[in-house]
Structure 1
Amino acid sequence: MSSERLIYLPLGGAGEIGMNAYVYGYGKPGQERLILVDLGVTFPDMDGSPGVDLILPDITWLAERKNQLEAVFITHAHEDHVGAVAHYYEALGAPIYARAFTSNIARRKMEEHGHSEKAVRTVSPWPEVTEAGPFKAGFVPISHSIPESSGLVIDTPDGRLVHTGDFKMDTDPVVGEPFDASVWEAIAKPGVKALICDSTNVFSPMEGRSESSVGPEIEKLVASAKGMFVCTTFASNVARVKTLAEAGERAGRSICLMGRAMRRMIEASIETGVLKDFPKVVSPEDAKQIPRESLMLIVTGSQGERRAASAQLAQGKYQGITLAEGDTFLFSSKTIPGNERGVIRIINQFSEMGVDVVDDTSGLYHVSGHANRPDLDAMHKLIKPQLVIPMHGEHRHLREHVKLAKNNRLYGVLAVNGMMMDLSQNTPTVAEYIETGRTYLDGSVKIGALDGVVRDRIRMALNGHVMINVILDEDDEPLGEPWCEIKGLPETGHSRAPLVDVLEEDLSQYLGRAGSKTLIDDDKLEEGLRKVARQSAMGEIGKKPEVSVIISRLSG
Structure 2
Amino acid sequence: MYVVEVDEEMVVLDAGQMIPEDDMLGIDVVIPDISYLVQNRDRVKAVILSHGHEDHTGAIPYVISKLQAPVYGSKLTMGLVEETLKMKNIENKVKLKVVSPGGNIKAGKMKIEFFRVNHSIPDCLGVAIQTPQGYVVYTGDFKIDQTPPDRKFSDVGRMTDYGKKGVLCLLSDSTNAEVPGTTPSEKETEAGIKDVFRDAPGRVIVSTYASNVYRIQQVIDSAAESNRKLAIVGDSMKKVIEISQRLNYLRVPKLIISVEEISKYNGEDVAVLCSGTQGEPVSALHRMAKGSDRQLSILPKDTVIISASPSPGNEKSIGRVVDYLYKLGAEVVHSDKRVNVSGMVQEELMFMLNLMKPRHFVPIQGEFRMQFAHAELALTTGVHRERIHMLDNGDVLQLQGKNATKASKVPAGNVLIDGLGIGDVGNIVLRDRRLLSKDGILVVVVTLNKKTNAFVSGPDIISRGFVYVRESEELLEEAKKKVTDTLNECMSENVNEWSSLKSNVREVLSRFLYDKTKRRPMILPIIMEV
Q: Same fold (TM over 0.5)?
A: yes
The answer as to whether partners of 1:258 and 1:284 remain within 8 angstroms in 2 is: yes
In 2, are the aligned partners of 1:518 and 1:524 still within 8 Å (CA)?
no
AA at the equivalent of 1:551: I
What amino acid does structure 1 have at the position aligned with 2:338? L
Please show how residues 255-266 of structure 1 align to structure 2 within 5 Å.
255-266=230-241
Q: 1:442 Cα deviation (Å)?
A: 1.8
- Residue 535 (structure 1) shift: 2.4
Match of 1:394? 367
**Greater CA drift, 282-291 or 102-111:** 282-291
Count of paired positions: 526
CA distance in 1, matches of 2:427, 2:327: 42
Distance 2:107 2:159 in 1: 22
Equivalences for 1:224-243 in 2 at 5 Å?
224-243=199-218
Q: Displacement, 1:460?
A: 2.2
Superposed displacement of residue 318, structure 1: 4.2
State TM-score, norm by structure 2: 0.93
Preserved contact between residue 229 and residue 270 of structure 2 (Cα < 8 Å): yes
> One-letter code of the match for 2:5?
G
Quick check: which one's helix share is greater?
2
Superposition pairs of residues 240-251 of structure 1, within 5 angstroms: 240-251=215-226
Distance 1:172 1:345, change over 3 A: same
Structure 1 segment 82-93 matched on structure 2, within 5 A: 82-93=57-68
Equivalent position to 2:2, from 17, 22, 38: 22
C-alpha deviations, 1:244-287, integer Å up to 9, x for none? 22122111111222112221222221122222355632222333
- The match for 2:381 is 408
Q: 1:446: Cα distance to partner?
A: 1.9
Structure 1 residues 162 and 23, CA gap change in structure 2 (3 angstroms): same
Cα distance in 2 for partners of 1:546, 1:311 equals 30
Is structure 2 residue 412 aligned with structure 1 residue 432? Answer: no
* CA separation of 1:143 and 1:442: change in aligned 2, threshold 3 A: same
Give the corresponding residue for 2:73: 98
The correspondence for 1:335, drawn from 310, 313, 318, is 310
1:224-258: CA deviation from partner (whole Å, max 9, x where unpaired)? 11111212222222111211221221111112221
Matches within 5 A, 1:350-429: 350-360=325-335, 362-368=336-342, 370-410=343-383, 411-429=387-405
Cα distance in structure 2, aligned partners of 1:543 and 1:106: 47
Q: Which residue of 1 aligns with 2:454?
A: 477
1:510 partner letter: T
Are the counterparts in 2 of residues 175 and 275 from structure 1 also a CA contact under 8 Å? no
Quote the Cα distance in structure 2 between the aligned partners of 1:317 and 1:475: 55
Q: Indicate how the Cα distance of structure 1 residues 432 and 120 shifts in structure 2: closer, same or farther if over 3 A, else same.
A: same
Kept after mapping to 2: 8 A contact 1:136/1:155? yes
Is the 8 Å Cα contact of residues 420 and 430 (structure 1) preserved in structure 2? yes
Residue 202 of structure 1, aligned match among 177, 194, 197? 177
Matched-pair contact (CA < 8 Å) for 2:440–2:522? yes
Match of 1:40 in 2: 16
Task: Measure, in 2, the Cα distance between the counterparts of 1:321 and 1:488.
Answer: 31
Give yes or no for contact 1:476–1:519 (8 Å, CA) kept in 2: no
Q: Cα RMSD (Å) of the superposition? A: 2.4
Displacement after TM superposition at 1:118 (Å) = 5.8
Percent identical pairs in the alignment equals: 26
**1:385-407: CA deviations, max 9, x gaps?**
22222112222222222222222
Preserved contact between residue 236 and residue 279 of structure 2 (Cα < 8 Å): no
Are 1:255 and 1:282, in contact at CA under 8 Å, matched by a contact in 2?
yes
Per-residue CA distance 1:30-89 (angstroms, 9 max, x = gap)? xx211111111111133x210111111111111111121111111111111100110112
SS in 1 for 2:126: strand
Q: Go from structure 1 to structure 2 and tell me whether the alpha carbon gap of 1:538 and 1:167 turns closer, same or farther (over 3 Å shift).
A: same
Q: Which residue is equivalent to 1:446?
A: 422
Name the structure 1 match of 2:508.
532
Classify 1:317/1:461 alpha carbon distance in 2 versus 1 (closer, same or farther; 3 Å): closer
Name the aligned partner's letter for residue 104 of structure 2.
V
> How much does 1:203 deviate?
1.3
CA distance in 2, matches of 1:267, 1:175: 18
Structure 1 residue 119 corresponds to structure 2 residue 117: no
8 A Cα contact 1:438 1:449, kept in partner: no
Q: Return the offset for 1:510.
A: 2.3
Between 1:271-280 and 1:72-81, the stretch displaced more is 271-280
Cα deviation code 1:432-478 (max 9, x no counterpart): 22232211112211226755111221122223211111221111111
User: Per the alignment, do residues 219 and 173 of structure 1 end up closer, same or farther by CA in structure 2, a change over 3 Å counting?
Assistant: same
Please give the alpha-carbon distance, in whole angstroms, between the structure 2 residues aligned to 1:467 and 1:100: 56
Pairwise CA distance, 1:516: 4.3
Give the whole-Å Cα distance in 1 for the aligned partners of 2:292 and 2:446. Answer: 48
Displacement after TM superposition at 1:419 (Å): 1.0
Q: 1:421 to 1:471 in 2, by over 3 A?
A: same
Cα displacement (A) at 1:144: 0.8
- Give the distance between the partners of 1:532 and 1:415, measured in 2 at CA: 46
In 1, the alpha carbon distance for the partners of 2:318 and 2:258 equals: 26
Q: Measure, in 1, the Cα distance between the counterparts of 2:355 and 2:322.
A: 43
- Say if 1:302 and 1:310, in contact at 8 Å, map to a contact too: no
Q: Which residue of 2 aligns with 1:275?
A: 250
**Unaligned segments of structure 1, at least 5 residues:** 1-20
1:159 equivalent in structure 2: 134
8 Å contact kept, 2:223–2:229: yes
- Distance in 2, Cα, partners of 1:176 & 1:55: 35
Closer/same/farther in 2, CA of residues 308 and 278 from structure 1, 3 Å limit: farther
Q: What SS does the corresponding residue of 1:514 show, helix, strand or coil?
A: helix
* 1:4 aligned residue: none
Q: Does the Cα contact within 8 Å between 1:226 and 1:326 map onto a contact in 2? A: yes
TM-score, L = length of structure 1 = 0.89
* 128-137 vs 445-454, greater mean Cα deviation: 445-454
CA contact (8 A) 2:275 2:282 kept: no
**Counterparts in 2 of 1:118 and 1:189: CA distance versus 1, 3 Å:** farther
| Greater Cα shift, 270-279 or 196-205 | 270-279
In structure 1, the residue corresponding to 2:100 is in which secondary structure? coil
Q: Does 1:508 align with 2:484?
A: yes
For residues 182-232 of structure 1, give each alpha carbon's deviation from its aligned partner in whole angstroms, at most 9, with x where no partner exists: 232234332221111111111111122111112222222211111112122
- Mean Cα displacement is larger for which, 176-185 or 298-307? 298-307
Letter in 1 for 2:468: E
Q: Please tell me whether the aligned partners of residues 416 and 426 of structure 2 are also in contact (alpha carbons under 8 angstroms).
A: no
What are the superposed Cα offsets for residues 321-340 of structure 1, whole Å, 9 maximum, x if unpaired? 44322221122222333223
Provide closer, same or farther for how the CA distance between residues 227 and 306 of structure 1 changes in structure 2, counting only shifts above 3 A.
closer
- In the other structure, the counterpart of 1:14 is none
**Deviation at residue 356 of structure 1 after TM alignment:** 1.8
Over residues 360-400 of structure 1, what are the superposed CA-to-partner deviations in whole Å (9 max), with x where a residue is unaligned? 3x4322111x2211111111111222222211222222222
